[in-house]
Chains A and B, each alone.
Chain A
Amino acid sequence: MSDQSPHRELGLTDHEFELICQKMGREPNGVELAMFSLLWSEHCAYKHSRKLLKNLPTEGPRVVMGPGENAGAVDIGNGFSIAFKVESHNHPSAVEPFQGAATGVGGILRDVIALGARPIAILDSLRFGEPDTERTHYLVDGVVRGIGHYGNSMGIPTVGGEIYFEPPYEQNPLVNAMCVGLARTDEMVRAAAAGAGNKVVLFGSLTGRDGIGGASVLASAELDEGDDAKRPTVQIGDPFEESKLLECCQELLAEDLLVSLQDLGAAGLTSSAGEMASAGGTGIDIDVGLVPLREPDMEPFEIMVSESQERMLAVVEPGKVDQVLAFCTKWQTASAVIGEVTDSGTFRILKHGETVGEIRVEDLVDGCPLYDLDPEEPAEWTYVNRETIEADAAPSDIALSLLASPSIASKRWAFDQYDSIVGSRTVHRAGAADAAVLNIPESNRAIAIAIDGNGRRVACDPFQGTVEATLECAANLAVVGAEPLGVTNCLNFGNPEKPGVAWQLSRAVEGLAAACTALEAPVVGGNVSLYNETPQGPIYPTPVVGMVGELPDPANVAGENWRAGDAIALIGPFDPSLAGSELEKQRGQLGKGLPDVEIAPVKAAIELVREAVRSGAVRTATDVSDGGIATALAELAIGSEIGCETDLHPVLARRSDNPEDALFGEGPGGFILAGEKAELEKLGGQGVDFELIGEVNGNEVIVTAGESRVEILVEEAAAAFDSLEDRIESDQAGLTH
Chain B
Amino acid sequence: MIQARVLIRPKEGILDAQGKAVEGALPALGFDGIEHVRVGRIVELQAESADRLEELCEKLLANPLIEDFEIETVDE
Residues on the A chain within 8 Å of B17, using CB: 734
Residues on the B chain within 8 Å of A735, using CB: 21-22, 25
Interface: B60 (CB within 8 A): no
Q: 1/0 per position for A693-737, CB-CB distance to B under 8 A? A: 000000000000000000000000000000000000001111100
> Would you call A731 and B28 a contact (CB within 8 A)?
yes
Interface: B45 (CB within 8 A): no
Q: 1/0 per position for B30-59, CB-CB distance to A under 8 A? A: 000000000000000000000000000000
Once bound together, how far apart are the Cα atoms of A134 and B24, in whole Å? 14
* Minimum distance in angstroms from A729 CB to a CB of chain B: 11
* Minimum distance in angstroms from A137 CB to a CB of chain B: 10
Residues on the B chain within 8 Å of A733, using CB: 21, 25
> Would you call B18 and A734 a contact (CB within 8 A)?
yes
* Minimum distance in angstroms from B6 CB to a CB of chain A: 22
Residues on the B chain within 8 Å of A732, using CB: 25, 28-29
Once bound together, how far apart are the Cα atoms of A265 and B60, in whole Å? 35
Once bound together, how far apart are the Cα atoms of A179 and B38, in whole Å? 38
Which residue of B is nearest A732, CB measured? B25
Q: How many residues of A contact B (CB 8 A)?
A: 6
* Minimum distance in angstroms from A239 CB to a CB of chain B: 19
Once bound together, how far apart are the Cα atoms of A48 and B24, in whole Å? 46
Once bound together, how far apart are the Cα atoms of A733 and B28, in whole Å? 12
Residues on the A chain within 8 Å of B27, using CB: 731
* Minimum distance in angstroms from A211 CB to a CB of chain B: 26
**A-side interface mostly:** loop
Residues on the B chain within 8 Å of A134, using CB: 28
Once bound together, how far apart are the Cα atoms of A734 and B19, in whole Å? 9
Which residue of A is nearest B19, CB measured? A734
* Minimum distance in angstroms from B72 CB to a CB of chain A: 26
* Minimum distance in angstroms from B62 CB to a CB of chain A: 21
Residues on the B chain within 8 Å of A731, using CB: 24-25, 27-29
Once bound together, how far apart are the Cα atoms of A137 and B8, in whole Å? 31
Once bound together, how far apart are the Cα atoms of A731 and B29, in whole Å? 9
Most chain B CB neighbours (cut-off 10 Å) among A134, A733, A734: A734
Once bound together, how far apart are the Cα atoms of A735 and B28, in whole Å? 13
Once bound together, how far apart are the Cα atoms of A734 and B22, in whole Å? 7
Which residue of B is nearest A736, CB measured? B21
Once bound together, how far apart are the Cα atoms of A733 and B22, in whole Å? 8
Once bound together, how far apart are the Cα atoms of A735 and B19, in whole Å? 9
* Minimum distance in angstroms from A403 CB to a CB of chain B: 29
Once bound together, how far apart are the Cα atoms of A733 and B29, in whole Å? 12
* Minimum distance in angstroms from A652 CB to a CB of chain B: 50
Once bound together, how far apart are the Cα atoms of A735 and B22, in whole Å? 6
* Minimum distance in angstroms from B20 CB to a CB of chain A: 8
Residues on the A chain within 8 Å of B28, using CB: 134, 731-732
Residues on the A chain within 8 Å of B18, using CB: 734
Once bound together, how far apart are the Cα atoms of A212 and B25, in whole Å? 32
Q: 1/0 per position for A7-47, CB-CB distance to B under 8 A? A: 00000000000000000000000000000000000000000
* Minimum distance in angstroms from B31 CB to a CB of chain A: 12
* Minimum distance in angstroms from A145 CB to a CB of chain B: 12
Residues on the A chain within 8 Å of B24, using CB: 731
* Minimum distance in angstroms from B25 CB to a CB of chain A: 5
Q: 1/0 per position for A108-134, CB-CB distance to B under 8 A? A: 000000000000000000000000001
* Minimum distance in angstroms from A473 CB to a CB of chain B: 38
Which residues of chain A (624-683) have a CB below 8 Å from chain B?
none
Which residue of B is nearest A137, CB measured? B28
* Minimum distance in angstroms from B74 CB to a CB of chain A: 23
Once bound together, how far apart are the Cα atoms of A735 and B21, in whole Å? 7
* Minimum distance in angstroms from A141 CB to a CB of chain B: 11
Once bound together, how far apart are the Cα atoms of A734 and B25, in whole Å? 9
Once bound together, how far apart are the Cα atoms of A734 and B16, in whole Å? 12
Once bound together, how far apart are the Cα atoms of A364 and B28, in whole Å? 49
* Minimum distance in angstroms from B71 CB to a CB of chain A: 27
Residues on the B chain within 8 Å of A734, using CB: 17-18, 21-22, 25
Which residue of A is nearest B24, CB measured? A731
Once bound together, how far apart are the Cα atoms of A716 and B60, in whole Å? 52
Which residue of B is nearest A734, CB measured? B21
Once bound together, how far apart are the Cα atoms of A454 and B40, in whole Å? 44
Once bound together, how far apart are the Cα atoms of A735 and B18, in whole Å? 8
* Minimum distance in angstroms from B66 CB to a CB of chain A: 19
Once bound together, how far apart are the Cα atoms of A732 and B27, in whole Å? 10
* Minimum distance in angstroms from B29 CB to a CB of chain A: 7
Which residue of A is nearest B17, CB measured? A734
Q: 1/0 per position for A134-160, CB-CB distance to B under 8 A? A: 100000000000000000000000000
Which residue of B is nearest A731, CB measured? B28
Which residue of B is nearest A730, CB measured? B25
Which residues of chain A (270-311) have a CB below 8 Å from chain B?
none
Which residue of B is nearest A134, CB measured? B28
* Minimum distance in angstroms from B2 CB to a CB of chain A: 23
* Minimum distance in angstroms from B56 CB to a CB of chain A: 21
* Minimum distance in angstroms from A196 CB to a CB of chain B: 46
Once bound together, how far apart are the Cα atoms of A134 and B30, in whole Å? 13
Once bound together, how far apart are the Cα atoms of A134 and B28, in whole Å? 9
* Minimum distance in angstroms from A417 CB to a CB of chain B: 15
Residues on the A chain within 8 Å of B21, using CB: 733-735
Once bound together, how far apart are the Cα atoms of A305 and B29, in whole Å? 36
* Minimum distance in angstroms from A133 CB to a CB of chain B: 12
Once bound together, how far apart are the Cα atoms of A710 and B17, in whole Å? 44
* Minimum distance in angstroms from B5 CB to a CB of chain A: 22
* Minimum distance in angstroms from B39 CB to a CB of chain A: 10
Once bound together, how far apart are the Cα atoms of A10 and B25, in whole Å? 38
Which residue of A is nearest B26, CB measured? A731
* Minimum distance in angstroms from A112 CB to a CB of chain B: 33
Which residue of A is nearest B25, CB measured? A732
Which residues of chain A (160-206) have a CB below 8 Å from chain B?
none
Once bound together, how far apart are the Cα atoms of A734 and B27, in whole Å? 15
Residues on the A chain within 8 Å of B29, using CB: 731-732
Once bound together, how far apart are the Cα atoms of A134 and B27, in whole Å? 13
Once bound together, how far apart are the Cα atoms of A725 and B45, in whole Å? 43
Residues on the A chain within 8 Å of B22, using CB: 734-735
Once bound together, how far apart are the Cα atoms of A734 and B17, in whole Å? 9
* Minimum distance in angstroms from B34 CB to a CB of chain A: 14
* Minimum distance in angstroms from B19 CB to a CB of chain A: 10
Q: 1/0 per position for A487-528, CB-CB distance to B under 8 A? A: 000000000000000000000000000000000000000000
Residues on the A chain within 8 Å of B25, using CB: 731-735
Once bound together, how far apart are the Cα atoms of A733 and B24, in whole Å? 9
* Minimum distance in angstroms from B64 CB to a CB of chain A: 25
* CB<8 Å pairs between A and B, sample of 14: A731-B25, A731-B28, A732-B25, A732-B28, A733-B21, A733-B25, A734-B17, A734-B18, A734-B21, A734-B22, A734-B25, A735-B21, A735-B22, A735-B25
7 tightest CB-CB pairs across the interface, nearest first? Answer: A734-B21, A731-B28, A732-B25, A731-B25, A735-B25, A735-B22, A735-B21
Name 15 extra pairs, CB < 8 A, besides A732-B29, A735-B22.
Answer: A134-B28, A731-B24, A731-B25, A731-B27, A731-B28, A731-B29, A732-B25, A732-B28, A733-B21, A733-B25, A734-B21, A734-B22, A734-B25, A735-B21, A735-B25
Q: Which residue numbers of A lie inside 8 Å of B, CB to CB?
A: 134, 731-735
